[in-house]
Every structure is written in structure tokens, then in C-alpha cells.
Amino acid sequence: MTISKTYRTVILTGLLMPMTLFILGCYNGVMQTIYRAGIIHQASVGGINYYQGLTMHGVINAIVLTTFFAVVFGHVTVSYYLKREPPKLTYQISMLLMVIGTLMDLAAMITGKAQALYTFYAPLKDSPFFYIGTALLIIGSWIAFFGWIKIWYDWKKENPETKMPLAVLGTFVNFSIWLICTLPAAYETLIILTPWSLGWTDSINVPLTRMLFWMFGHPLVYFWLLPAYVAYYTILPKVAGGKLYSGNAARLAFLLFLILSMPVGVHHQFSEPVFTPGTKLWASLLTYAVAIPSFMTAFTVGASLEFAARRRGAKGVFSWMWKLPYFEVDRYLFGYFICGLILFIFGGLTGIVNASYTLNQLVHNTDWVPGHFHMTVAGPVILVILGMSLYMYSTVSGKELKFKTFAVMVPYVWLVGVALLSHGLMSGGLMGEPRRTNLGLSYTNPASPLFNQHFVPTTSTTLVGGIIMGAAAIIYFIVFFATAMGKRVNEPQLILPESEELNEERDVPLFNTMKPWLILSIVLVMTTYVPALISVFKYSKAVPNKYQPDSPQNLQK
């Protein structure tokens, strides 16, 4: 499909800008492993302190890159399947707000005015610039969604009998979750945190800000994941040389995410004293339920891969796994997708450990948690972002992919890096190694009375994993930027590999509409958050904030 020059520019900007920032995000990630392994015993390096770097790492990699990608991939999938562009004003304003918001966040982080990590709740305080910038980034992403809704209605008028294409359903489910879950975040940042940060209010209800953040913070992880699932269901079977095993199963999985992604945020707060055991038990049960659509995905995508392998001549019960196009240069996307899936098996299983209230008491706030989330975020999420960014940049710009062999290598090197990093983090976590701590100043510093020799092998494994991930990232940046700087050799076009469904399945009307699922999702959110809110107001209140990061008590001697 040919697209207008303005739309093309917006898509390419939405790929280029976050990818450039991702260099800074990755640098700060590798620095984390260096600090924590005790290679350096300093509070800062090159003018960036530990928490400033950790904030940049989390905000750039997990909020900026993922949101830009969801929007750009949404533009590409929705336009490709509905064969039209969204209204120009929507995609232009959306991108403008996202770019301005990101620049504000970046300015606040680089100047050290935002160091409260990517989980921006009180009592840590950021500059109002950061809160407003983040709000603009989010509002910009909403506007892109409004543009897609408009073209969906236009398309539906012309195609009343055709059901919503699967990729469009996945994208709409994702952005509906996003729209609902960002409302508490918008309230938290704009109504509570910004006035507090400007000094207009001098007291703050800490548990309330934490609850509002996690109402957003858990659905956020599915907002990262669902673009990857759209790619797994609608692109991967084709790239593997097969077909999608069941379209209905895929539709049901997306719709289950719509109802179950939002009411589970309290599982990040099992240690929070304000919530009742009943609320925590309910959140735990719903968290097990939200794993179901991922189990379904494992089976549907697994069956699609087996079908592809058998089509390529595979025979045995398990040996079909070797008949997939792991290293084929023309199918380089396959490596990014499969490595993400392999990591996600372990990312998902560790998530199920976290969901248990009792086991959570052992792992909460230890390095186990970043071990879990690197196999999810740095697994399927980032790997699909990396692969699809290469694909979309080269097709939409008409430029040829450069250094193809390198492009094929990247996901495998990355996989080894993430596996080692997460193994080091999780084994340390089980021994109580704390997360979000500059261990090089204490537990991994032989000169410190807190030195703990058990954390040396675990943080060293994490360091090796981090360095391997850094090497994979460097190879990737060479491929991406060489492609972006290359000459146009093909006609620019908006195109996607499109998987067919294996069987013509019976139409299930409930799978072709989002309305009942949306209503159910709001009901389920209320079942968790009405009792949670009652507890917050019953057991906590706004108090003056005594914590100041630059107070002499908090400065390192």
C-alpha cells in the first residue's frame, strides 16, 4: 500500500526518535550491572548518578520506546488491514505531543530533576516537567487511537459483513486497555503529583499515589506485550512458512486480556499494609486468571510453528522444532520472534511465582523481580520491537536492510545475554539481594562492613549477561542506523507479512465485538478497586512529606 509523504514522515520519526534514545537507555542498563557487581564503588559516573541512570533506563526503555512502538505499529497494522490512512490531524498532533512530552522527560532526567524511577509514585518527587511530559506522551498516544477509531467506522460502513481483522482487534483491545488504565495515571500525575511538586500542596497521601500508579502499572505491562502478540498471531506464522492454527483462539485471548489486565495491579502491593487480605487474595486469583490468555497463546503459536515445520518437511514428535527458519537471512524476523517466545516461557513462569501471595513475600523487592521482568520486557517485548522496527523502517522508507547477517545474529546474542542476566538476578534475589540498590557502595564492596560474598557470583553473572546484551545492542544499532542512513532503493510502501488462518472456523459473534467485554472489564476493575480505595481512605491520609533527596541525612558521607 502506498502512503502519503506526511504519514510516512510521522511513522519514520516514531521509529527513529525512540531508537536513538534507546542508545542512552541501553548504556544506563549496562552501567547498572557494572555498579552492582562492585566493579566501581561510586555514587555516579560521568555526571549521571545511580538513580538518575536507573530512571533513564526504565523510562526510556519501558515507557518511551514501548509507547512509540505501540503507536507506530498500530498505524502500520490498522492502515494495512483497513487500507486507509487515519485523519492527518490526528497522527500529526499525536506524534507532536509524544515528541514534546519525551523531550520534556529527557530534559528533566538529564538535569537530574527526575530520579524517582519509572514507577513515579510518592514519596519520591520528580520535577513537574517530568509529570507533564509523561502526560503529553500518553495523551499523544490516545489521539492516534482516536484516528484509528474514525477509519474503523468508515471501513465498517463499506464492509458491514466483514469481521474486524485480527490485527486490528488486537490493537484496539490494547489501546482500550491503555485508555482506561492511563486515566488513574493522569489523575495521579496531573492532579496530585504536579501541584505537590510545584509546592502548591504540602502534603501527600502516599498509599493513594501508589495505588493509582499500580492501577496503571500492571495493565502497562500488557500494553507492552500485546503488540508482540499481534505480531505472533498475524505475522509469525507467515514468516515461519505456515498458517495461524486458530483465529478464534487468538481473538478470545485478546478479549480475555481486555477484561483481566486491569483489576490485578494490587499484586504489586502485597506488602502494602493498607489493603485487606481479601483484596490481596482477589488480586492474586485474578492474576492467575490473566495468565490464561498467555497459556492459550503458547499453545496456538506453538501449534502454528509445528504446522510450519511440518510443511517444511519435519517428521518427529519433537524434532520439528529444528526445521524452523532460525538463521534464514530473508526471514530474519523469525529469530527476533522465537527468541522472545523462548525467554517468555521463563518470564511467564516466574510471573506465576510472583502472583502467589506467600511466595511473593520471599521475592518482593529483591532482584528476583527484575530477573522476572527482563525475561518479559527484554524478551518478547523488546525483541519484537527490534525486529519490527527494522522491517517497518526499511519497507516504509524504501531503504534496503544493511548488514543482514548481523541482523540475524542480534536476537540470539541478546537471548544469551538476557538468560545470564536474569539468572544472576534471580539467584541473587532468592538470597535476599535487594533490587534498586547501588550494591557497589555496600554489599559488593569488600571495604564495606555490609560486604556479602554470596552476592559476588550472582552480580558477576548479571554483569556478564549485561555486557552480552550491550554487545547485541551495539550490533543492532549498527544495522538499524546504517539502514536508516542508506539510499532509497525501493518504492516506499506500507506492507506486512500476513498470515492466513489454517481452518475456516465457525463465526462466534461474541468474539467479533468488544462492547460486552468492555463492560465486564469495568465491572471487574470495580471489584478490586472499590474495596482498595475504601481501604486507602480508611487507613491512610495525606501527610506532609518529610523526605528530601538532598537532605544531609540522605547524602552519602
Q: Does 73 bind ligand HAS (CB under 6 A)?
A: no
Q: Indicate if 75 belongs to the active site.
A: no
Q: Indicate if 218 belongs to the active site.
A: yes
- Give the one residue of 67, 77, 234, 360 binding ligand HAS; rule: CB under 6 A: 360
Tell me the H-state helices in 322-445. 333-355, 357-363, 368-374, 382-397, 404-430
Q: Does 267 bind ligand HAS (CB under 6 A)?
A: yes
Beta strand pairing call for 203-204 and 48-49: unpaired
Q: Is the distance from CB of 444 to CB of 456 less than 8 angstroms?
A: yes
Q: Indicate if 435 belongs to the active site.
A: yes
Of 58 and 147, CB closest to ligand HAS: 58
Q: Does 102 bind ligand HAS (CB under 6 A)?
A: no
Distance CA 208, CA 5 (A): 46
Q: Does 384 bind ligand HAS (CB under 6 A)?
A: no
Q: How far is CA 230 from CA 239, 251, 496, in A?
A: 14, 10, 12
Three-state SS for 136-178 is HHHHHHHHHHHHHHHHHHHHHHHCCCCCCCHHHHHHHHHHHHH
- Give the one residue of 111, 150, 202, 302 binding ligand HAS; rule: CB under 6 A: 302
- Give the one residue of 1, 285, 329, 345 binding ligand HAS; rule: CB under 6 A: 345
- Give the one residue of 190, 352, 416, 533 binding ligand HAS; rule: CB under 6 A: 352
Of 79 and 297, CB closest to ligand HAS: 297
In terms of Cα–Cα distance, which of 465, 385, 536, 397 is closest to 63? 385
**String marking each residue 207-226 x if it binds ligand HAS according to CB under 6 A:** --------------x--xx-
Distance CA 160, CA 179 (A): 26
Percent helix, strand and coil across the chain, each to the nearest 5: 70, 5, 25
Q: Does 344 bind ligand HAS (CB under 6 A)?
A: yes
Q: Indicate if 374 belongs to the active site.
A: yes
Strand partners, 540: none
Of 352 and 542, CB closest to ligand HAS: 352
CA dihedral 211, 217, 219, 222 (to 10 degrees): -160
User: Any residues with CB less than 8 A from the CB of 353 and at least 6 apart, and which?
Assistant: 359, 363, 372
Sign, CA dihedral 151-258-75-238, equals negative
212 burial level (CB within 10 Å; 0-12, 13-18, 19+): buried
Q: Does 76 bind ligand HAS (CB under 6 A)?
A: no
- Give the one residue of 18, 74, 133, 351 binding ligand HAS; rule: CB under 6 A: 351
Q: Indicate if 373 belongs to the active site.
A: yes
Catalytic residue from among 145, 222, 229, 393: 222
Q: Does 304 bind ligand HAS (CB under 6 A)?
A: no
Beta strand pairing call for 48-49 and 44-45: antiparallel
* Shortest reach from residue 504's CB to ligand HAS, in Å: 24
**String marking each residue 271-290 x if it binds ligand HAS according to CB under 6 A:** ----------------x--x
Distance CA 68, CA 105 (A): 14
**String marking each residue 316-335 x if it binds ligand HAS according to CB under 6 A:** -----x--------------
Sign, CA dihedral 364-371-335-59, equals positive
* Segment lying near ligand HAS (by CB under 6 A), choices 7-15, 236-244, 373-381, 390-398: 373-381
Q: Does 236 bind ligand HAS (CB under 6 A)?
A: no
**Chain residues that interact with ligand HAS, rule: CB under 6 A:** 119, 221, 224-225, 267-268, 287, 290-291, 294-295, 297-298, 301-302, 305, 321, 341-342, 344-345, 348, 351-352, 354-355, 360, 364, 369, 372-373, 376-377, 381
